[in-house]
Amino acid sequence: MSILEARSVSRSFVSRRGLLDLVMRRPPLALKAVRGVDLSVQRGETLGIVGESGCGKSTLARLMVGLYPCTEGDVALKGASMQGPDPEGRIQMVFQDPYSSLNPRMTIGALLSEAITRYRPKTTRADCAREVAAGLQKVGLPADVAEKYPYALSGGQRQRASIARALCPRPEILVADEPVSALDASVQANIINLFEQLKKNDGITIVFISHDMQVIAHLCDRVAVMYLGEVVELQETASLFEAPLHPYTKGLIAAVPRIDRTQRERMPMDGEMPDPFNLPDGCRFAGRCPLAEEKCNQPQVLRAVRGGMVRCWKAPIE
């Protein structure tokens, strides 16, 4: 059974309105950041979510942890529909920016203690201190970090501290939204290794969001590819990289820099994303797709193929 499930989840935002819109009395526009996403996360797996900036990854992450209500559909934790963040803290989130996600007025020890007592208020002070020390050790931080304030830590240490805080409530699921993209390249690998250890040693279920195909390839068991709010492909990681089904996935993979490819052979994706306020009815990728033809003007459904899913009528069925 899936541990966490997005069931036909959509989320709309009313556009932020500029002064000109007000003067011109233009009606507010609604933007569907996530549309009709069905995704089921299996216990113990690391599910990657990948896609370009603005495709709805962070919105989906917030929907999955209950930080945003769904406009349509719902999210189920172990089969039960969630109404807001889980009161037992079974799902925790790690944010992209460890600078803004840690309260600067609290020591790391106090931040971690709060994350423990929020869900287990009867924890004694002594037990709390022990758990904080164990939590820091688990993420590879020295014990004296507990006394420090976030500003005294490096970017990598802060992200370790945010991961420790997310682990304090003993979650079954960790949703990590681009947890390494704000960090220096040299530090990124260490944090990725930390996620790998959590996966291996703790069997924790992870939803790992990234726009970096290499990070996804390294860490994830399965990958969902998003384009303009929709899942366009879902496959096991090995088959996704060996035989991508959607032309968009092929483009993402081809755009990955590799030492054995010259600049010329690398194929960055052409074209721009369509205006999210004015989306085509048919395939939303058609305007950028090298294979597009007449039939792509019709709406595309997510089809089951070869152990995965793809939203492209041209993808081969096996």
Which residues in this chain contact ligand ATP in the complex, by CB under 6 A? 13, 16, 31, 33, 51, 53-59, 211, 276
Which is closer to Mg ion, CB of 50 or CB of 146? 50
- Closest separation between CB of residue 122 and ligand ATP, Å? 36
Nearer to Mg ion, 68 or 132 (CB): 68
* Residue 56 contact, options Mg ion, ligand ATP, none, Cβ 5-8 Å cut-off depending on partner type: ligand ATP
Q: What are phi and psi of 22, to 5 degrees?
A: -65, -45
Which entry of ligand ATP, Mg ion, none binds 33, CB below 5 to 8 A by partner kind?
A: ligand ATP
Q: Which does 59 bind (CB under 5 to 8 A by kind): Mg ion, ligand ATP, none?
A: ligand ATP
| Closer of 21 and 97 to Mg ion (Cβ) | 97
End-to-end CA distance of the chain: 25
Distance CA 236, CA 220 (A): 8
User: In this complex, which beta carbon is closest to ligand ATP, that of residue 82 or of residue 226?
Assistant: 226
Could you say which of Mg ion, ligand ATP, none residue 13 binds, taking C-beta under 5 to 8 angstroms by partner kind? ligand ATP
Give min distance, CB of 50 to Mg ion, in A.
12
In the complex, the smallest distance separating the C-beta of residue 31 from ligand ATP, rounded to whole angstroms, is: 6
Among 11, 33, 49, 58, binds Mg ion (CB under 5 A): 58
Q: Closest Cα partner for 9 from 50, 65, 85? A: 65
Binding-site partner at residue 276 among ligand ATP, Mg ion, none, CB < 5 to 8 Å by type: ligand ATP
Least Å from the CB of residue 304 to ligand ATP: 25
For residue 157, the minimal CB distance to ligand ATP (Å) is 23
Whether the Cβ atoms of residue 171 and residue 41 lie closer than 8 Å to each other: no
Find the part of the chain contacting Mg ion (CB under 5 A) among 2-10, 49-57, 106-114, 133-141.
49-57
58 versus 300: smaller Cβ distance to Mg ion:
58
Q: Which is nearer to ligand ATP, 113 or 210 (CB)?
A: 210
Q: Which stretch binds Mg ion (CB under 5 A): 53-61, 113-121, 200-208, 239-247?
A: 53-61
Distance in Å, CB of 169 to Mg ion, minimum: 23
CA torsion sign for 68, 165, 203, 309 is positive
- The site partner of 55 among ligand ATP, Mg ion, none (C-beta below 5 to 8 Å per kind) is ligand ATP
- Which C-beta is closer to ligand ATP: that of 57 or that of 90? 57
Per-residue DSSP letters for the chain?
Answer: -EEEEEEEEEEEEEPPPPHHHHHTTPPPPEEEEEEEEEEEEETT-EEEEE--TTSSHHHHHHHHTTSS--SEEEEEETTEEP-SS-TT--EEEE-S-TTTSS-TTS-HHHHHHHHHHHH-TT--HHHHHHHHHHHHHHTT--GGGGGS-GGGS-HHHHHHHHHHHHHTT--SEEEEESTTTTS-HHHHHHHHHHHHHIIIII--EEEEEES-HHHHHHH-SEEEEEETTEEEEEEEHHHHHHS--SHHHHHHHHTS--TTS-TTT--PPPS-PPPTTS--SS-TTGGG-TT--GGGGS----EEETTEEE--TTSPP-
Smaller CB separation from ligand ATP, 64 or 219: 64
Contact residues: Mg ion, CB under 5 A: 57-58
